Amino acid sequence: MARTLPARSAIEPKHTWNARSVFTTPAAWDAELAAVIAQIPAVRTHEQLMTRGAAELADGLLAVEQLMTRMMKVLVYAGFSYSVDTTDSRAAAMNDTAQGAYGQVSAAVSFLDPVLLGIGKDTIGQWLRSEPKLAVHKHYLDNLWRKQAHVRSAEVEELLGMVSDPFFGPGNTANMLVNADLKFADARDANGRTFEVTQGSLFRILEDPDRVPRRAAWTNYMEGHSFFRNTLAATLTTSIKQNVFKSRARRFDSALAGVLDLDNIPTEVFHNAIGVFRRNLPLWHRYFDVRRRVLHLKSLHHYDMWAPLTKKKIRIPFEKSVNLICEGLAPMGDEYVAAVRKGCLKDRWVDIYPNRGKRSGAFSWGTFGTHPFIMMSYVDDITSLSTLAHELGHSMHSLYTWKTQPFVYSTYSTFVAEVASNFHQALVRDSLLKGAVDMRIAVIEEAMANFFRYFFIMPTLARFELATHQRVEKGEPLTADLMMDLMTELLAEAYGPGVAIEREREGLLWATFPHLFEDYYVFQYETGIAGAQALAGRVLRGEPNAVPAYIRFISAGSSDYPIDVLRKAGVDLSHPEPVEEAFAVMAGYVDQLEALLL
């Protein structure tokens, strides 16, 4: 019998996200969506009124923020409903409608920055001093003056706002294809056991001690993608072209510069991270050799990277996982830990278990006025525990930001987001490593799997991303074959001679990462782990003010530039040293594995 996933309807409500806390019924969502659309004309009237004086400007900013607050709740409800069951046609329609509405709202409020620039820095400076309601917007306005050269006319800004909806298209197409329509052949082992291969089950199979189903599952998974390689390449290429278009429309020299400028991050940060990664490839080659020897293999393959290094499997049910995470977070204080526990066990932040149609991976998402919800597929193991800790880091980041900052600063950059998530994992690992030997091995295995994803795969994808963007910027073609050749070449360098690479399998790795539809996101996992390790080290060493400094960091939202928010917390990611220090932490894990297993 194949191991099949339950239908969404079979999941107990207590194990699902608390959708009713956002909208009590789908009908209530419909009504709010209609109300949001109906409010657009009233908000647009502020375009002219805002130029008349400080009070009118404050009223206009408030109207825009109130509309965006309501729109985001509509978007979160629809998007999360769709993510937990991509086969639900009602949810898919809601998600599509919500994205269309978001595009309308974005276009409707796109007048804001051009109007502010038209009023002028000196006049707005006077208004800031005379109208207390405007004071909170000072950083937003300072950032606007910084970006002034890249803000276009009101007409162009409106057009750029309008294209946000159709520009969701490539990512949505790839998501529907991969998560809803794409089917994979079952994997079988030598004894005839069959394993259902899905987005939600793949990595559970790759963790099987038996190499036969691992190889079969990976082969079938990649062959499923291979059938649609040209479609997947076309959708990603279109996304890249859209990003290049947007950067050129805003007069940036490159897409990389355009994306990073949004958060005032120098392009050197990207190149520093990639440089440190390449310098530390010998450490990765050493780890791969340890893994090969422990597994008694002549050569290692990609599908061996998650194979267990010990026979004993540690089972950790969800509630026990919550308890272990809370123990690890104890240095953060009672208030912090209580919020985590209540979110998991009472307020239903987490959509816990896998089901058919559920999106792959895990994420935390919400907005002003909602819980910081988590979508994942928990399967009672150490990896699930770590994933939950990771996503709870995001959720606590959101929770503290929302309760501290006004709407204008209620989001935060992906550059700091991955610091908070990996900070949680670092604290929880430190606590778990104090346990029995079997637990220590399992924790180090999980840690290395995490580093493998974020300190190996993601930097390699970042190199792929840079190369593909540069091809488009030069007017050169991108095809599935070109992408596969590039991916194979980059992986061969990164893996070294000790790992076998198959072009028809690993060459398609790019097709399995939806992260690439969010431009220049993947490298920020590497910088995120580096920042997290530095801040966790301060807390674990008991350095004075380390915990309050971290709380201030996750409470800052976008009230300051990401690099500066982190610098105030105690880590400077404008230099390569934190990334080097994180590789030193990884080296310590490899040392422990050698001591424990060889």
Q: Could you tell me whether strands 187-188 and 194-195 are parallel, antiparallel, or unpaired per DSSP bridges?
A: antiparallel
Residues 6+ apart with CB under 8 A from 282: none
Catalytic residue among 391, 418, 446, 526: 391
Single-letter amino acid code for the residue at 53: G
User: What whole-number distance in Å separates Cα of residue 343 and Cα of residue 568?
Assistant: 28
Phi, psi of 301 (to 5 degrees): -120, 165
Is 391 labeled as catalytic in the residue annotation? yes
User: What whole-number distance in Å separates Cα of residue 547 and Cα of residue 562?
Assistant: 19
Nearest to 101 by CA among 65, 134, 68, 66: 68
Nearest to 483 by CA among 499, 461, 454, 498: 461
Single-letter amino acid code for the residue at 212: V
Residues 6+ apart with CB under 8 A from 348: 14, 16, 17, 18, 21, 371
Beta bridge partners of 117: none
Residues 6+ apart with CB under 8 A from 24: none
Residues 6+ apart with CB under 8 A from 37: 101, 104
User: What whole-number distance in Å separates Cα of residue 122 and Cα of residue 147?
Assistant: 16
Q: Which two tokens stand for residue 458?
A: 């993601």
Q: Which two tokens stand for residue 357?
A: 């149609």
DSSP label at 358?
P
Residue 253's CB: how many other CB atoms inside 10 A? Answer: 11
Assign 3-class secondary structure to 214-254. Answer: HHHHHHHHHHHHHCCHHHHHHHHHHHHHHHHHHHHHCCCCC
Q: What angle do CA 149, 151, 156 make, to 5 degrees?
A: 135
Using alpha carbons, list the distances in angstroms from residue 130 to 124, 133, 432: 10, 9, 55
User: What whole-number distance in Å separates Cα of residue 174 and Cα of residue 212?
Assistant: 29
Residues 6+ apart with CB under 8 A from 311: 209
Three-class secondary structure of residue 371 per DSSP: coil
Q: Is 210 exposed, middle or buried (0-12, 13-18, 19+ CB in 10 A)?
A: middle
User: What whole-number distance in Å separates Cα of residue 117 and Cα of residue 120?
Assistant: 5
User: What whole-number distance in Å separates Cα of residue 344 and Cα of residue 26?
Assistant: 24
User: What whole-number distance in Å separates Cα of residue 439 and Cα of residue 432?
Assistant: 7
User: What whole-number distance in Å separates Cα of residue 435 and Cα of residue 438?
Assistant: 8
- Answer yes or no: are the C-beta atoms of 136 and 142 closer than 8 Å: no
Q: Which residues are catalytic?
A: 391
